[in-house]
């Protein structure tokens, strides 16, 4: 609210300026088409000319990114924005959108500054802008790269129609610790899969030509290793070997750079003992020199200031370290504009270093075509595309695809379109939670609740008997914390026993129970780690009471992380994981519940049996004492109180139909280094419904100069099979699939024996062997 007032004052202050006041020194520049092109002489000439006209203060001003507008996404907000802009001290803003608001601010910048340099307009468009798609973790469980790309394309269409030219996405941090709230924002635990999703999203956002008014600059984040926070606590320290960085955590970042991402955001954590934002090895040696990144690097929210608390020195020293490391733009913290002028005078940084950072920001603006037309993204008439029926249909489609059927005993699902349903649970008719965390400019009031979705899909054919049954959370402190940041949790003040009793009554008078339970959206996302990853509040008690009615119990889950659900797995008849599925969530859930869509999602994170097992991930190392399953075998890598098995493994997900896998065939059992081979498997739809299956291929390098994981995903194919139909699925295994970074960090293929695994998930696989011989 406070921010909205600041924003309105700003806009009103500028309101009297004529809209038609166009800049007059924005020299005509040719459209730049290739996004990550190495050389663009026209751009070089343009930026050189501009830099030559700029004072040191104006150059430092370009390095400043301010938070101003409708949304608050960090601990502090920028002040004196108009005065700073007027003085040429701002390179871009974020959290301002709508063409009217963006145009006013852009006009203000262009008309009131000496060189009329347009601003960048950024925003956290994470899983859709106005049409909200499933949270990124949910997008990933669709295993549908085309649909994921489309979601990013639609997000870019809407964001660019809404005044924005820069989105802070994709978030590609590998996450293996379910306690970490931001596991919701990424694509899960697998590096190779994360890389594929990163590429798809960048293509969706940036297209092939950033100067188009419907493409936006993407921002890869958070570089690097943010998802490996110690103890799963947000902003926590990260410490890992370079081996693990290069072979596991770096893969999606590198793939995004190769896909031409235009900007990179630094992470809050340290990497190898140095905060990422001030880490020259990371930002220059790895990102720019080894990977060839030539775009702009922006900090995360006040990340330079936070380097003081990390313990690197004063704010001025942190700023110097960040600039020298390769950071170009300072988000909100204003360290660069406060200190860099003096740092130059004191010879702590050079003007050439400032030129370099400024050049990258000007280049981003040039690539976006802002010097040609600063108002390219502020065309009111384009807002007509926002939330158009085609976008909503796409949101419904990918929401259905993102859902993972975790259990379906005796075909409890799909439900009949007749009789009565006890629709129970705190999330059964909620709207706020459905659009999830980081839902940008999404309006939760437009989200379709589960209750509404069921009515939309089956109308009056099914009688719905509703009871809330429990609150999402009961802990007052937790509720306070969530509501302080937009949780909108309204609490039913009845006793838990009374609420459960009512739900049981409703269940007894219905044919089947659909219990919609889980987390509130604020329990995942930024600064939302949990030490307990079971169902919060009294929801498990509610399920236990419902179970006693003897009615079929269908559990519909909404949550932003893997949960530990041992009781639910043992006792529910069916479990459908729906994450936070976006604007169309209720319709999509109803489609799946009633069999209008046959679920095809597969997990991209391992679900543990107990929180004590985390971090738990399928692609782990073997150890010298791998646990073989015999609990009496003492000196093995295991726990006393729980097995090493996950509750649900990576890649797992059921369908209403069943699929039979034939015996996979390898084209060769021995190849020379540098050669490829093929693996073929016949997959048959053996059940009663048409359906889709995600066929997965994993490999294991049995002997390595550095040890290799027990399994690594290297390919997959999502196929669609009619009832009774079969298909041969063929994969090529290429030399690249067999390479890894050795202890000298060289990317090598070491001849020797390999295993190939094929199957419907990472656990239930058939294995074969082949060898690679030296040339
Ligand atoms: C988050 C980023 C986000 C930024 C801007 C930070 O707190 O870590 O992911 O892009 O804020 O809102």
Tens of pLDDT along 674-698?
A: 999 999 999 999 999 999 999 999 9
Nearest to 770, CA basis, from 663, 664, 677: 677
pLDDT range class, residue 30, cuts 50, 70, 90: very low
| Beta-bridge partners for 768 | 756
**pLDDT of amino acid 21:** 31
For residues 55 and 367, the answer to whether their CB atoms sit within 8 Å is no
Asked, as a colleague might, if the bond just before 534 is cis with ω within 30 of 0, I would say: no
pLDDT range class, residue 343, cuts 50, 70, 90: very high
Nearest to 546, CA basis, from 410, 419, 422: 422
Residue 716, ligand 1, Cβ within 6 A? no
- Residue 636 CB neighbour total at 10 angstroms: 16
- Mean pLDDT of all residues in 626-632: 88
**CA 20–ligand 1 middle distance (angstroms):** 34
Looking from the CA of residue 268, the nearest atom of ligand 1 is 8
| SS3 label, residue 485 | coil
pLDDT range class, residue 24, cuts 50, 70, 90: very low
Round to whole Å and give the CA distance between 478 and 491: 12
**pLDDT of amino acid 18:** 27
**pLDDT of amino acid 75:** 75
Round to whole Å and give the CA distance between 201 and 150: 8
Lowest mean pLDDT across 483-487, 542-546, 656-660: 483-487
Q: Exposed, middle or buried by CB within 10 Å (0-12, 13-18, 19+), for 462?
A: buried
Nearest to 166, CA basis, from 202, 196, 121: 121
Give the CA diameter of the chain.
81
pLDDT at 17 over 60: no
Round to whole Å and give the CA distance between 253 and 605: 19
Round to whole Å and give the CA distance between 124 and 438: 7
For residue 575, what is the enclosing H or E element?
Answer: strand 574-577
83 contact partners, CB below 8 Å, separation of at least 6: none
**pLDDT of amino acid 14:** 31
- Mean pLDDT of all residues in 225-248: 97
**pLDDT of amino acid 36:** 52
Look up tokens 């543990």; give the residue: 608
How are strands ordered across the β-sheet holding 463-467? 404-408, 574-577, 553-558, 512-518, 420-424, 463-467
For residue 727, what is the enclosing H or E element?
Answer: strand 726-733
- Residue 492 CB neighbour total at 10 angstroms: 13
- Mean pLDDT of all residues in 653-676: 98
pLDDT at 8 over 50: no
User: With pLDDT > 70 as the criterion, what percentage of the chain qualifies?
Assistant: 95
Q: Measured in Å, how far apart are the chain's first and last C-alpha atoms?
A: 68
Look up tokens 């608390």; give the residue: 309
pLDDT range class, residue 410, cuts 50, 70, 90: very high
- Tokens linked to 752: 């020797």
What's the chain's average pLDDT?
Answer: 94
Nearest to 564, CA basis, from 648, 620, 470: 648
pLDDT at 35 over 60: no
- Tokens linked to 553: 């119990």
Lowest mean pLDDT across 7-16, 573-582, 635-644, 690-699: 7-16
**pLDDT of amino acid 65:** 97
pLDDT at 490 over 90: no
**CA 72–ligand 1 middle distance (angstroms):** 10
Mutual orientation of helices 251-258 and 191-206 as an angle, nearest 10°? 30
Residue 58, ligand 1, Cβ within 6 A? no
Nearest to 521, CA basis, from 138, 66, 32: 138
- Residue 138 CB neighbour total at 10 angstroms: 30
Residue 185, ligand 1, Cβ within 6 A? no
pLDDT at 630 over 80: yes
Round to whole Å and give the CA distance between 144 and 148: 6
- Mean pLDDT of all residues in 136-148: 98
CA distances from 742 to 92, 254, 434, 730, 745 (A): 41, 17, 44, 29, 5
DSSP state of 248: I
For residues 451 and 466, the answer to whether their CB atoms sit within 8 Å is yes
Q: Strand 420-424 to strand 512-518: parallel, antiparallel, or no bridges (unpaired)?
A: parallel
Round to whole Å and give the CA distance between 438 and 582: 11
User: Considering 71, 144, 177, 300, which one is annotated as catalytic?
Assistant: 300
The tens digit of pLDDT for each residue in 172-210 reads 999 999 999 999 999 999 999 999 999 999 999 999 999
Nearest to 228, CA basis, from 241, 220, 219, 239: 239
Looking from the CA of residue 185, the nearest atom of ligand 1 is 9
Nearest to 359, CA basis, from 117, 165, 67: 117
Residue 144, ligand 1, Cβ within 6 A? no
The half-sphere exposure of 739 on its side-chain side, counting CA atoms within 13 A, is 15
Pocket test for ligand 1, best of 97, 124, 267, 330 (most atoms within 8 A of CB): 124
Residue 366, ligand 1, Cβ within 6 A? no
- Tokens linked to 464: 């719905």
pLDDT at 19 over 50: no
For residues 116 and 428, the answer to whether their CB atoms sit within 8 Å is no
pLDDT at 161 over 80: yes
CA distances from 242 to 142, 247, 248, 713 (A): 31, 8, 10, 21
**pLDDT of amino acid 732:** 98
Residue 71, ligand 1, Cβ within 6 A? no
The tens digit of pLDDT for each residue in 70-105 reads 777 777 778 888 899 999 999 999 999 999 999 999
The tens digit of pLDDT for each residue in 355-392 reads 999 999 999 999 999 999 999 999 999 999 999 999 99
**CA 118–ligand 1 middle distance (angstroms):** 23
169 contact partners, CB below 8 Å, separation of at least 6: 124, 125, 126, 152, 155, 201, 205, 218, 219, 221
| CA atoms 408, 409, 414, 418: torsion sign | negative
Pocket test for ligand 1, best of 173, 182, 300, 305 (most atoms within 8 A of CB): 300
Round to whole Å and give the CA distance between 354 and 661: 59
The tens digit of pLDDT for each residue in 541-565 reads 999 999 999 999 999 999 999 999 9
Residue 443 appears among annotated catalytic residues: no
pLDDT at 7 over 90: no
- Mean pLDDT of all residues in 237-253: 98
pLDDT at 231 over 80: yes
pLDDT at 287 over 90: yes
157 contact partners, CB below 8 Å, separation of at least 6: 214, 385, 391
- Mean pLDDT of all residues in 283-308: 98
Residue 301, ligand 1, Cβ within 6 A? yes
pLDDT at 3 over 70: no
- Tokens linked to 402: 């993102």
**pLDDT of amino acid 34:** 41
The tens digit of pLDDT for each residue in 45-75 reads 999 999 999 999 999 999 999 999 877 777 7
pLDDT at 32 over 90: no
Phi and psi angles of residue 173, each rounded to the nearest 5 degrees, phi first: -65, 125
């Amino acid at each position: 609210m406070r921010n909205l007032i600041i924003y309105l004052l700003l806009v009103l202050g500028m309101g009297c300026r004529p809209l038609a006041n166009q800049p007059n020194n924005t020299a005509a520049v040719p459209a730049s088409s290739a996004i990550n092109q190495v050389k663009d002489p026209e751009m070089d000439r343009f930026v050189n000319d501009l830099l030559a006209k700029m004072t040191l203060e104006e150059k430092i001003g370009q390095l400043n990114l301010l938070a101003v507008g409708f949304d608050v996404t960090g601990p502090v907000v920028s002040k004196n924005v108009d005065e700073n802009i007027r003085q040429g001290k701002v390179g871009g803003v974020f959290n301002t959108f709508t063409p009217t608001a963006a145009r006013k601010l852009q006009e203000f910048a262009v008309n009131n500054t000496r060189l009329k340099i347009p601003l960048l307009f950024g925003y956290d468009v994470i899983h859709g802008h106005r049409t909200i798609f499933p949270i990124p973790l949910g997008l990933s469980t669709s295993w549908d790269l085309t649909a994921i790309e489309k979601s990013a394309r639609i997000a870019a269409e809407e964001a660019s129609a809404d005044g924005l030219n820069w989105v802070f996405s994709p978030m590609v941090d590998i996450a293996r610790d379910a306690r970490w709230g931001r596991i919701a924002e990424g694509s899960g635990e697998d590096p190779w899969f994360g890389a594929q999703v990163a590429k798809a999203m960048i293509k969706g956002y940036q297209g092939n030509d950033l100067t188009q008014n419907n493409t936006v600059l993407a921002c890869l984040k958070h570089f690097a290793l943010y998802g490996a926070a110690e103890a799963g606590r947000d902003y926590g320290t990260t410490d890992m070997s370079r081996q693990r960085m290069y072979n596991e955590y770096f893969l999606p970042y590198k793939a995004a750079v190769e896909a031409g991402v235009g900007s990179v955001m630094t992470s809050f954590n340290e990497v190898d003992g140095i905060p990422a934002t001030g880490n020259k090895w990371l930002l220059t040696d790895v990102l720019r020199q080894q990977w060839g990144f030539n775009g702009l690097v922006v900090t995360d929210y006040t990340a330079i200031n936070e380097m003081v608390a990390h313990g690197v020195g004063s704010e001025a020293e942190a700023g110097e370290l960040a600039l020298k490391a390769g950071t170009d733009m300072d988000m909100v913290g204003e360290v660069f504009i406060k200190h860099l002028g003096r740092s130059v005078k004191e010879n702590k940084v050079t003007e050439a270093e400032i030129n370099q950072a400024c050049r990258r920001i000007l280049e981003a603006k040039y690539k976006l075509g802002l010097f040609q037309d600063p108002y390219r993204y502020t065309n009111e008439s384009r807002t007509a595309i926002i939330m158009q029926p085609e976008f909503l249909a796409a949101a419904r489609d990918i929401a259905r695809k993102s859902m993972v059927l975790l259990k379906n005993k005796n075909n409890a699902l799909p439900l009949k379109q007749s009789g009565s349903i006890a629709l129970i649970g705190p999330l059964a008719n909620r709207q706020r939670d459905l659009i999830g965390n980081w839902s940008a400019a999404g309006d939760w009031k437009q989200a379709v609740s589960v209750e509404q979705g069921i009515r939309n899909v089956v109308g009056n054919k099914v009688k719905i008997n509703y009871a809330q049954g429990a609150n999402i959370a009961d802990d007052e402190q937790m509720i306070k914390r969530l509501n302080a940041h937009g949780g909108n949790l309204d609490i039913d003040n009845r006793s838990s026993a009374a609420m459960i009793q009512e739900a049981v009554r409703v269940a007894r008078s219905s044919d089947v129970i659909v219990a919609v339970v889980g987390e509130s959206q604020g329990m995942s996302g930024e600064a939302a780690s949990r030490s307990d990853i079971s169902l919060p509040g009294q929801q498990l008690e509610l399920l236990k009471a419902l179970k006693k009615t003897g009615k079929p119990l269908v559990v519909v889950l909404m949550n932003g992380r893997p949960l530990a659900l041992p009781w639910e797995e043992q006792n529910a008849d069916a479990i459908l994981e729906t994450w936070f599925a976006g604007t169309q969530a209720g319709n999509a859930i109803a489609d799946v519940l009633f069999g209008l869509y046959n679920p095809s999602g597969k997990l991209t994170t391992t679900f543990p049996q107990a929180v004590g097992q985390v971090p738990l991930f399928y692609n782990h190392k073997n150890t010298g004492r791998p646990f073989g399953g015999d609990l009496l075998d003492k000196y093995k890598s295991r726990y006393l109180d729980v097995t090493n098995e996950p509750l649900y493994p990576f890649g797992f997900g059921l369908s209403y139909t069943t699929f039979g896998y034939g015996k996979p065939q390898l084209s060769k059992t021995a190849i020379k280094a540098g050669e490829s081979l093929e693996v073929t498997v016949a997959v048959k739809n053996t059940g009663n419904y048409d359906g889709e299956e995600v066929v997965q291929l994993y490999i294991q390098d049995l002997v390595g100069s550095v040890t290799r994981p027990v399994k690594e995903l290297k390919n997959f194919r999502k196929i669609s099979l009619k009832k009774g139909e079969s298909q041969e699925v063929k994969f090529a295994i290429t030399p690249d699939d067999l390479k890894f970074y050795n202890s000298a960090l060289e990317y090598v293929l070491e001849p020797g024996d390999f295993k190939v695994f094929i199957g419907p998930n990472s656990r239930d696989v058939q294995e074969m062997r082949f060898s690679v011989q030296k040339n």
